[in-house]
Structure 1
Amino acid sequence: MSSDTPVPASRRRFLKNAATGAVATGALAAPMVSRAQTTSLRFQSTWPAKDIFHEYALDFAKKVNDMAGGRLKIEVLPSGSVVPAFQLLEAVNKGTLDGGHGVVAYHYGKNSALALWGSGPGYGMDPNMLLSWHYYGGGKALLEEIYKAINMDVVSYLYGPMPTQPFGWFKKPIAKVEDIKGLKYRTVGLAVDIYTELGAAVNPLPGSDIVPALDRGLIDAAEFNNASSDRMLGFPDVVKNCMLQSFHQSTEQFEILFNKGKYDALPAELKAIIDYAVQAASADMSWKAVDRNSKDYDEMKKSGVKFYKTPDAILRAQLAAWDKVMAKKSGENPLFAKVLAAQKAFAQRAGQWQNDYLVDFKVAWNHYFAK
């Protein structure tokens, strides 16, 4: 239609009504957006402010906050801001905190089965496979069953497969199984039982207390988690020997907790944002860990820290000790046995697939870089 063609009366009425409707719709929509309230949730992590783990907690919160567009805001405080690290679960359950960021193994004292999400060899699964079991092999329902059994009214999300944790930091390298006997050693979760079985005197200290205890001689050796956290905590300042590779905590991941009442009150779209933020943060954490852990590992080697591979005899002794602990705990706790059975069934199938399909990447790395 050209610009000088007359517009029929019916057409003029249609355009006028459409414009009036658009103005009315816009007038209604704008106040709805401006009146949208922000739900603020106060979280605490179980990590010191400078630890990369606390950074992971902040990364998760930022993803939620960005995607929620102002409708939901999560603030994350560092460990000890409201409660001690090992009291996070109770604080979230009671509503003292709206949520938190930590690891399931920290709740080990409430029910020993909780430590199975992280402690031990996981029937040969790596941390990502254990997360696969959790979300697709029945682990999530079992975790909910355990929390219900101990009267913890929380919503739990697991994410972020951690790299295999070192055996730990020692004043002198551990050459044989007998060297563990009598050692004053720090660890947490079911690793406490493993090393107690091997003859160590175990003290489950929170992360911020480990290096001061090492420095004062209150403990002889300790493990925490990874190159970045260990370096930040100051292990290289007080001990110069680190033993790499271990089965005591080779399948661990992070946990994001919500107070169930606060979570249930959220609309469905905000719950969906949280769900997808967990998945995004899990991938992002994995990628960041590769970059940062490798840099900190390299820096510690340059600073004079000596790294040793844990001898195979000790790895086998860990597995033998684990088997004894599993038999004992299964007899004491039906939920413990139930979780183990579910893990074992999944691990046998998934592990067979992974072991058969995955190439040994060391072959290629050695081809290009080994001297």
Structure 2
Amino acid sequence: MKSDTAQSVSRRKFLKGGALAAGAAAGTLAAPAVVTAQSPIVLKMQSSWPASDVFQEMAQQYCDRVAKMSGDRLRIDLLPAGAVVGAFQVQDACHDGIIDCAHTVAVYWYGKHKAASFFGTGPVFGGSAAHMLAWYYAGGGADLYRELTQDVLGLNIVGFFGFPMPAQPLGWFKNEVKSAQDMNGLKYRTVGLAADLMQSMGLSVTQLPGGEIVPAMERGVIDAFEFNNPTSDMRFGAQDVAKNYMLSSYHQASESFEFIFNRDRFESLDPDLQAILQYAVEAASTSNYVLAMDQYSSDLQKLQEGGVNVVRTPTSVLEAQLTAWDKLIEQLGQDSINQKIMDSQKEWTERVVFFDLMNAPDYKLAYNHYFPGKITF
């Protein structure tokens, strides 16, 4: 039998040995595993905008949000118009898989089917871009878009919409427009159903991408034009070729950005990444609107200070546009998908815009109260 001292020493040796063994095992388990970082998935996106345009900045806001929301697992390589294909060809490029995605507006492919313009530059029946974006998401617009692009046109794409744009100005003119007759015979740039509308009002219309507008004006190909907003127009140099800027129009009272994805590429991604691509559109919609309100108002002020005659389009011209829309709506309704979309939009706006107009206070009244004399119409 061992003595108490011998037992104590033996126990100390055992505990010490066990501790060393446990430490060695722990050291083995704690050794860092060799992990190879997974490269992010990179999607190639081309926009329909020149690199210098504010719309390209808005597209980049979307790309930045996708990267952050995905923890940098997904990145979008954003290219300007013309980098791979022309501004009006991005939908075809997505369909064919030449690019993975595009940042554009639906009106740019209305040559395939005029119904495309209902998702950008349609009659909208008194609705704003915010009303029509709500129609897309809650009023059946998304299903009609899918039906048009996939069932009617057989396109291999999926798409989402974001950023309800402020109504587009009537545009830039060498002489101030005081009546609809002043526009008769003008060579004018616009796109989509707005081209049909203006042609019916006696204008000769040319459809051009944004980057080609001012050069066309300088060469005399056109003698009046619209693009979208004060910031884009100023960056194009519109103020160098015309001095009369007419705000307010029904030719493009509603438009939102279209985010197009090659369907096969989109569906190949994990569900969470698909969700990020979809819902980042909503996140960017807010940031786009904030940027627009800041930049558009600031640049309009700069245009005025630079000698541009900024005026509101006369009511008589707006009324002439509505009359022209009435005739165009009747013609468009001869196509079943056109009529289906217009019926859906009209039903939506009758209910939603009624609420909005009844509920909204008179903002002009309040503005005049605090800033008397600034608004003269």
Q: C-alpha distance in 1, partners of 2:138/2:184?
A: 40
Percent of residue pairs identical: 41
Equivalent residue for 1:4? none
Q: Which of 348, 366, 374 pairs up with 1:346? A: 348
Q: Which residue of 1 aligns with 2:58?
A: 56
Q: Which runs of 5+ in 2 are unaligned?
A: 1-14
2:217 matched residue in structure 1: 214
1:184 corresponding residue in structure 2: 187
Is the counterpart of residue 85 in structure 1 residue 102 in structure 2?
no
User: What is the TM-score with the length of structure 2 in the denominator?
Assistant: 0.90
Q: Partner residue of 2:323?
A: 320
| Secondary structure in structure 1 of the residue aligned to 2:253 | coil
For structure 1, the residue ranges without an aligned partner over 5 or more in a row are: 1-8
Instruction: Give the number of aligned pairs.
Output: 353
**Is the Cα contact below 8 Å between 1:120 and 1:247 reproduced in 2?**
no
What pairs with 1:41-190 in structure 2 (closer than 5 Å)? Answer: 41-148=43-150, 149-190=152-193
Whether contact under 8 Å (1:54, 1:78) holds in the other structure is: yes
Offset from partner CA, 1:193-248 (integer Å, 9 cap, x none)? 10011010000111111111111221110000000000001100111001110000
The equivalent residue for 1:3 is: none
Q: Which runs of 4+ in 1 moved over 3 A?
A: 19-24
Residue 22 of structure 1: how far off its partner (Å):
12
Distance 1:189 1:258 in 2: 21
C-alpha separation in 1, matches of 2:372 and 2:108: 39
Offset at residue 363 of structure 1 (A): 1.3
Aligned letter for 2:261? F
Partner of 2:9: none
**Separation (CA, whole Å) in 1 of partners of 2:26 and 2:303:** 69
- Matched residue SS, 1:152: coil
Tell whether 2:333 aligns with 1:330.
yes
Structure 1: distance between partners of 2:370 and 2:122: 33
In the alignment, the residues of structure 1 paired with residue 27 and residue 360 of structure 2 have an alpha-carbon distance, to the nearest angstrom, of 61
Question: What amino acid does structure 1 have at the position aligned with 2:248?
Answer: Q
The aligned runs of 1:179-258 (5 Å cut-off) are 179-258=182-261
Q: Contact 1:118–1:251 at 8 Å: present in 2 too? A: yes
- Per the alignment, in what secondary structure is the counterpart of residue 169 of structure 2? coil
- Matches of 2:293 and 2:76 in 1, distance apart? 26
State the distance in 2 between where 1:200 and 1:328 align: 19
Separation in 2 of the partners of 1:175 and 1:221? Answer: 14
Deviations 1:51-105 (CA, angstroms, capped at 9, x unpaired): 0001111110011012212211101100000000111100010001111100000
| Residue 120 of structure 1, CA deviation | 3.4
1:283 aligns with 2:301: no
Distance in 1 of aligned mates of 2:128 and 2:355 = 13
